[in-house]
Structure 1
Amino acid sequence: MSDEPLAIAVDAAPGGAGRLVRCRLCGRPLTGAGSRRTGLGPTCDAKLHPPAPDIRTRRHEVAQDPLPGLDGAAG
């Protein structure tokens, strides 16, 4: 194993010059701190991790017969 650190601080570069970090998917230069940490730009991150589908759009009303024994009379 090497003695290199597992995570590199990309926000604080020595000498004020930032290290060029490129997107792992498309190769474009990354400018945002969050994108530089993950290694993916916002567009490529959205391609790999799409938002969850909204289940409310899949619900629909179903015509249903009343349950036996429930004729609407209060007991």
Structure 2
Amino acid sequence: MSEEPLAIAIDSAPGDTRRIVRCRLCGRPLTGAESRRTGLGPSCDAKLHPPSPDIRTRRHEVDQDTLPGT
């Protein structure tokens, strides 16, 4: 058996065991803990899960005639 290593990581520091996690939608490397956990970057996550609309933005004032006899 030879004593040669099977693979050498050129761009990683010795002792650095973090593996590169990429976004499932666009393929960019993820750096944030939450992004790495979900597998989606912030912009791709916003595309797939838009924030729910605020109920106050859907309400609007309506001009209303006065009731007859008041």
- Which TM-score tier does this pair reach, normalised by the shorter chain? 0.5 to 0.7
CA distance in 1: counterparts of 2:39 and 2:47, whole angstroms: 14
CA distance in 2: counterparts of 1:27 and 1:45, whole angstroms: 13
Between the two proteins, the alignment pairs up a number of residues equal to: 55
The answer to whether residue 40 in structure 2 is matched with residue 30 in structure 1 is: no
Structure 1 residues without counterparts, runs of 5 or longer: 1-14
RMSD of aligned C-alpha atoms? 2.1
**TM-score normalised by length of structure 2:** 0.65
Q: Which runs of 4+ in 1 moved over 3 A?
A: none
**TM-score normalised by length of structure 1:** 0.61
Aligned to 2:18: 18
* Percent identity between the two aligned chains: 76
User: How big is the shift at 1:55?
Assistant: 1.8
